[in-house]
Amino acid sequence: MSHPSPLPSPNPAPPISILMYHQVGNFPAPASHRACYCRQSRFRAQMAWLRYAGFRVISLRQAYAALFGAGTVPARSVVLSFDDGYASFADNAYPILREFGYPAVVFAVSGLLGQPARFLADGGVRAPLMSAATLRELASDQIEIGSHTVNHRRLTRLPPEARRAEIGDSKKALEDLLGRAVDFFCYPSGDYDAIVRDEVAAAGYQAALTCSRGAANTAPNAFEIPRKAISWGDNLAGFFWKLLVKNRRKDRYG
């Protein structure tokens, strides 16, 4: 299925870094999937150094307006994004965000709220997702809630009807829960292609985030916006190297 009108391309703007996090907490060193974990102490240090180094943390909505509308943002703008909607976000990341007054976007899996993250290799037994009540409590102008599908399934592997249900039903369920528009989407596992991208656009979302690397300004359109994954092993030097240097786009599809 093709989207009936051209997808919007980004405006020239100062580079915007959208950082990708998953779980924040106190974990043993992971043997794999290091980009899915961030120590709470390291996360707090990263947030403190963003302020100290003169970065401006903005919302995804502000970034979208600057990239694809008439909005403007200062140089060194950063967006904080959190995939899957883990309970550890509410317990460990959100208090730090409140301390610094930073906005963020959380991409929730609408069909698994309050349940283990069953899509993980171990069934998510140690990784509960936020409940519907917690998600509703957090949703505000500072914490944007986006869609991460109904069940966190790889969209390119699904038949068309199931794929469109994962994309559209999640939007409707989250909007019914929150009583506000859900305008942003994130591809589970970064898995998408042109068909999936166009179905996300047709479902009524304004934009979608990928697991491709680079500055947001390098997006070919509003539904293929890259991010910068913050990994378990990133010290502050590595963190700022990603912010300041890793701006060139590196595509990743699933």
Domain map of the chain by residue range?
A: 16-244
Find tokens 């986006």 and name the residue.
Answer: 146
Q: How confident is the model at residue 155 (pLDDT cuts 50, 70, 90)?
A: very high
Q: For position 52, what pLDDT does the model report?
A: 94
Task: Give the number of other CB atoms < 10 A from CB of residue 146.
Answer: 25
Structure tokens at 160: 């068309």
Alpha-carbon span 86 to 230, nearest angstrom: 16
Share of the chain above pLDDT 90, in %: 73
What's the whole-number mean pLDDT along residues 22-40?
78
With cut-offs at 50, 70 and 90, classify the pLDDT of residue 1. Answer: very low
Half-sphere exposure of 148 (CA within 13 A, CB side): 28
The pLDDT tens digits for 57-95 are 999 999 999 999 888 888 899 999 999 999 999 999 999
Determine the pLDDT at residue 37: 78
Residue type for 225, please? I
Calpha distance 78→244 (Å, rounded) = 11
Which class does domain 16-244 fall in?
alpha beta
Residue 48 clears pLDDT 70, i.e. is over it: yes
- At a CB cut-off of 8 Å and minimum separation 6, what does 129 contact? 84, 85, 86, 87, 108, 109, 112, 113, 114, 115, 116, 117
Query: How high is the mean pLDDT of the chain?
Result: 91
The DSSP-derived string for 103-170 is -EEEEE-GGGTTSB-TTSTTTTTT-BBPPHHHHHHH-SSSEEEEE--SS---GGGS-HHHHHHHHHHH
The 10s digit of each residue's pLDDT in 192-202 is 999 999 999 99
Position 4 pLDDT exceeds 90: no
